[in-house]
Chain A
Amino acid sequence: MSVEQASAGTPGAGTSGARADESAGPVLVLSHAAKSFGAVHALLDGSIELYPGEVHALVGENGAGKSTLVKILAGVYQPDAGAMAIDGQEVTLHGPAMARAAGIAVIYQEPALFPDLTVAENMFIGRQPLRAGRRIDRRAMRAEAAEIFARLGVQLDPARIARGLSIADQQVVEIGKAISLEARVIVMDEPTAALSAAEVDRLFDVVRALSASGAAVLFISHRLEEVFALCQRVTVMRDGKQVLTQRLDGLVAGDLVRAMVGRELAERPAEAHGTPGEPLLGVERLTREGVFTDISLTVRAGEIVALAGLVGSGRSEVARAVFGVDLYDAGSVTVRGRELRRGSPTGAMAAGVGFVPEDRRQQGLVMDMSVQQNIALASLQRLRHLGLIRAAAERTLASDWADRLKIKYGRLKDPVSMLSGGNQQKVVLAKWLGRKPAVLIVDEPTRGIDVATKAEVHHLLLQLARDGVGILMISSELPEVLRLSDRILVMREGRLMAEFAQSGASEEEILSAATGQAPPAPSSGAGQ
């Protein structure tokens, strides 16, 4: 389907099942927007039309230009070409403030709040209600925030500081802000990536409430089942271009995947796992006061052990303690029977442990350093000659792993921040694979990664396991957990609650162990 067709054509005749008020005309039209950064064409031809009351999905692989399009809508980037119209009036956004004034609000995957300010102040910063003498009226501000939360049906204290809020609650603050701004276009950039199932349900209720009140919601997600559950129309992007805009009824997930990757993506069957070998990683009664308690587990050679559970159940904290980033209060960690020193990542690395952290931007990569330097970072010891790093050796190592992992980059000298999310994640993996680890701990290895790259990462992890690496994987995506792992450990509130063999587990069983509720976990989890 061509862009002309999509942007000029009417968005489907009937209004079957959707609340979208398509007779009123689009509230926002972006046509043929383009944006380049130097030689990198982030967006070639981005077009989208949003109607009042619709939830519109935007899907595409990482690097397809979604984030760039979002930043153009947010007024963060000024497009090199193309036009934007709101209510039929052409507008040019010169900054985030203008986008906000035009009624566009963006909720990012990980909202950037002001941790030292209160929730209410975060919502009203720059436009706090005033009383006599242009002073801030705190009472009115808090009351207004409380009223919005009540309308959304969420429990949140407007007067508490934002520090320590869960990501789900942070998003609620941002949504509350959008409502208080009377935003008519609300863009949600992968809001569900870091949420637990109950939190996703709560978010969906909030989104439905928003669209019922006439707002247009642009919903970006890699989880296609969410797209089908929530949205009425979809726009698919590929390689910086809009390739499809259509109503969702009548489409199936395969159609979207095909449009996203431009080819048929064979769902790889669950690959046969080898027989696990000798125990590599042993964790014995590991406890960190108030964070996790009495965690014991073993990872054998050639085995993928999944640590499942809700966000906040202490999974990542266990991983960090095992690798030595955080301290623990009791227990022990052994690799091949030899005990690791507490709180020493260097010791863990020397013993052959690799760690791909949850947050690749903050913890996995040095964003300002080049692709090459990032890949070589964990192998500097090996690349050293007379105390100096040999650039040639570094380049060889980096290009070797970049090829093997099919990383898409401009030049190896480019800062890693220029890569798309999926490719960044591959760089983190390459960094550790360059060390040939015996044990690899991966925390949310495919968060925010497109379908094709995800399949590649899955394949890579299985390949590593076949080569005898022991893998401890943390993941919030149950299909991923079920597909990859030999054994599944479920954590809840800092404790191990259950263990399943791959063959003996269902999503429902894992979920009920993770939530402590009888299966199936229904949608009433919000704010309890």
Chain B
Amino acid sequence: MSTTLVSRGERPPAAAGAGARRLTERAFRIRESGIIVVLALFVAVTASIQPRFLDTANIQFILINTTVFALLALGETMVVISRNYDLSVGSVLGLSAYLSANLFGQHHGIPIVAVFLAGLGIGLACGLLNGIMVSAGRVPSLVVTLATLYIFRGVDILIVGGKEVVASSLPAAFLDIPKATVIGVPDLAIAIAAVIGIGAYYLRSFRSGRELYAIGSNPDAARLAGIPVGRRVFVAFTVSGAIAGVAGVLWAAQYGTIDSTAGTGYELQVISAVVVGGVAIFGGSGSAVGAALGALLLNTISSALYVLGISPFWDQAIWGFLLILAISVDRFIAVRLAAALRVRGARHE
């Protein structure tokens, strides 16, 4: 366009709405720092009652337990941001955990890397199946992944039967993966944190990542804007599956004993972590870092209850309560934010 476009207002254009932007940015910061505050609160209260809670061993235990969930939460975040759900992650994890760990028994001396790749491949295949049915079949993801939750688990049970992989059949180097530490911090936790950081950066700073947000924010508009909605959603499911596959191998290394129940019920815990971590359940906003913090919070609470000698039955009740709290906080912020943006908008007219 040429310079003939006339302009009336010569004021610097960014001035008027800058307040609204600060407000929204602050709201997002609040959302993630909110989890950290709750986390700190739990740690402080628990530690004041039972100092043993802050033992290096216990902190390491919490971090290691969190890794699998945080990893699953990364994949789930990609899916949820695009206004979809992956309910099959627990089953994918179980299938991958057994099949990959079983390789050690079948092929003596198989490199650990190969086992991880096998887990990745298994997860990838499951994710592809989900992705194809959701994108090409246009079936709601809730239904597709509810079905594959049962199918993958069924296949798992069919293969495993009453058998199990026992720790003695696994190489020591494999079982040591979760145990390695650098100045007290588990290597694995650092590696997973890095992966999540990369994932969050990808979602934030790359076109295809932002397009996932756009799809979740307004799917119809995304189609009109020429975003390849099907392809993006397909990739999100594939990545979520692949991540669940890798998480399965880590799960195997962590627990050593794998039967056909591995990872049962994880899908709901992961979605809880994602929602507690501030990812909007109808897509469009949230971050992978928040989701990982959500996973950390939920695992810290489990551990705190254990250390305090409170029945683990309370665990689920508290998770549920946290979910409601998280949703209430989001709702509260959304309402306040909408009102604030409206007021600013009106003033700006």
A→B interface (CB under 8 Å) = 74, 76, 95-97, 100, 112-118, 121, 125-128, 130, 134-136, 142, 146, 149-161, 163-166, 169, 179, 182, 205, 208-210, 212-215, 290, 312, 493, 524, 526-528
Q: Are B206 and A96 in contact (CB under 8 A)?
A: no
Q: A142 — which chain B residues lie within 8 A by C-beta? A: 14
Can you list 18 contacts pairing A with B, beta carbon distance less than 8 Å? A96-B225, A117-B210, A117-B217, A121-B214, A125-B214, A125-B225, A126-B207, A151-B5, A153-B7, A159-B18, A161-B20, A163-B341, A164-B338, A166-B349, A210-B5, A212-B4, A214-B2, A526-B8
Contacts A152-B5, A157-B13 given; does A112 touch B224 at CB 8 Å: yes
> Measured between C-beta atoms, what is the minimum distance from A108 to chain B in Å?
8
B227 interface residue, CB < 8 Å from A? yes
Residue on A nearest B11 in the bound complex, by CB: A155
Residue on A nearest B228 in the bound complex, by CB: A97
Contacts A169-B345, A212-B4 given; does A126 touch B211 at CB 8 Å: yes
Q: Are B13 and A146 in contact (CB under 8 A)?
A: yes
Cα distance, A95 to B345, chains bound together (Å): 34
Checking B4, B21, B206, B220 against A157 with a beta-carbon cut-off of 8 angstroms, the contacting residue is B21
> Measured between C-beta atoms, what is the minimum distance from B15 to chain A in Å?
8
Cα distance, A161 to B213, chains bound together (Å): 13
Cα distance, A96 to B228, chains bound together (Å): 11
Q: Are B9 and A96 in contact (CB under 8 A)?
A: no
Q: Are B6 and A212 in contact (CB under 8 A)?
A: yes
Q: Are B17 and A160 in contact (CB under 8 A)?
A: yes
Q: A135 — which chain B residues lie within 8 A by C-beta? A: 205-206
Cα distance, A213 to B210, chains bound together (Å): 32
Which of A76, A97, A160, A493 has the most C-beta atoms of chain B within 10 angstroms of its own C-beta? A160
Checking B4, B8, B338 against A527 with a beta-carbon cut-off of 8 angstroms, the contacting residue is B8
Q: B9 — which chain A residues lie within 8 A by C-beta? A: 153-155, 526-527
B342 interface residue, CB < 8 Å from A? yes
Q: B284 — which chain A residues lie within 8 A by C-beta? A: 114-117
B→A interface (CB under 8 Å) = 1-2, 4-11, 13-18, 20-21, 24, 205-207, 210-211, 213-214, 216-218, 220-227, 280, 284-285, 337-339, 341-343, 345-346, 348-349
Residue on A nearest B25 in the bound complex, by CB: A159
Q: B349 — which chain A residues lie within 8 A by C-beta? A: 166, 312, 527-528
Contacts A125-B227, A126-B225 given; does A160 touch B341 at CB 8 Å: yes
> Measured between C-beta atoms, what is the minimum distance from B235 to chain A in Å?
15
Q: B1 — which chain A residues lie within 8 A by C-beta? A: 151, 179, 182, 210, 213-215
Q: Are A150 and B7 in contact (CB under 8 A)?
A: yes
Residue on A nearest B16 in the bound complex, by CB: A155
> Measured between C-beta atoms, what is the minimum distance from B172 to chain A in Å?
40
> Measured between C-beta atoms, what is the minimum distance from A109 to chain B in Å?
13
Cα distance, A115 to B280, chains bound together (Å): 13
> Measured between C-beta atoms, what is the minimum distance from B123 to chain A in Å?
26
Checking B207, B220, B345 against A128 with a beta-carbon cut-off of 8 angstroms, the contacting residue is B207
> Measured between C-beta atoms, what is the minimum distance from A147 to chain B in Å?
8
Given A150-B10, A151-B5, A527-B349, 10 more contacts at CB 8 Å?
A96-B226, A117-B210, A125-B214, A126-B226, A126-B227, A135-B206, A153-B6, A153-B9, A209-B4, A527-B8
Q: Are B346 and A312 in contact (CB under 8 A)?
A: yes
Q: Are A151 and B341 in contact (CB under 8 A)?
A: no
Q: Are A95 and B226 in contact (CB under 8 A)?
A: yes
Contacts A115-B218, A160-B21 given; does A290 touch B5 at CB 8 Å: no
Q: A127 — which chain B residues lie within 8 A by C-beta? A: 207
Residue on A nearest B284 in the bound complex, by CB: A116
Q: Are B210 and A125 in contact (CB under 8 A)?
A: yes
Checking B14, B222, B280, B348 against A114 with a beta-carbon cut-off of 8 angstroms, the contacting residue is B222
Q: Are B226 and A100 in contact (CB under 8 A)?
A: yes
Q: B224 — which chain A residues lie within 8 A by C-beta? A: 74, 76, 96, 112
Q: Are B5 and A160 in contact (CB under 8 A)?
A: no
Q: A209 — which chain B residues lie within 8 A by C-beta? A: 4-6
Q: Are A149 and B13 in contact (CB under 8 A)?
A: yes
Contacts A114-B218, A136-B210 given; does A213 touch B2 at CB 8 Å: yes
Q: B285 — which chain A residues lie within 8 A by C-beta? A: 116
Q: B337 — which chain A residues lie within 8 A by C-beta? A: 163-164
> Measured between C-beta atoms, what is the minimum distance from A427 to chain B in Å?
23
Checking A74, A158, A169, A212 against B14 with a beta-carbon cut-off of 8 angstroms, the contacting residue is A158
Q: Are A212 and B5 in contact (CB under 8 A)?
A: yes
Residue on B nearest A135 in the bound complex, by CB: B205
Q: Are A114 and B13 in contact (CB under 8 A)?
A: no
Q: B17 — which chain A residues lie within 8 A by C-beta? A: 155-157, 159-160
Contacts A117-B213, A526-B8 given; does A146 touch B14 at CB 8 Å: yes
Cα distance, A116 to B15, chains bound together (Å): 21
Q: A208 — which chain B residues lie within 8 A by C-beta? A: 6
